[in-house]
Amino acid sequence: MNRTRLLVTGLVLSGLLGLIDVISLPFGDGEHPPVAVAVVGAVLGLITLVGAVLAWRGSRAGAVAVIVTRLLSGLSAVPAFFADDVPGALVGAGAFALLVTLAGVALVASALRTRAVTEG
pLDDT in tens, 31-77: 667 788 889 999 999 999 999 999 999 999 999 999 999 999 999 88
CA distance 88 to 119: 47
Say what the alpha-carbon torsion angle 72, 117, 8, 27 is, to the nearest 10 degrees: 0
pTM exceeding the 0.75 threshold for the entire prediction = yes
- Residue 33: asked if its preceding bond is cis (omega within 30°), the reply is yes
* pLDDT of amino acid 83: 81
Cβ-count burial of 104 within 10 angstroms (0-12 exposed, 13-18 middle, 19+ buried)? Answer: buried
Confidence band of 120 (pLDDT split at 50, 70, 90) = low
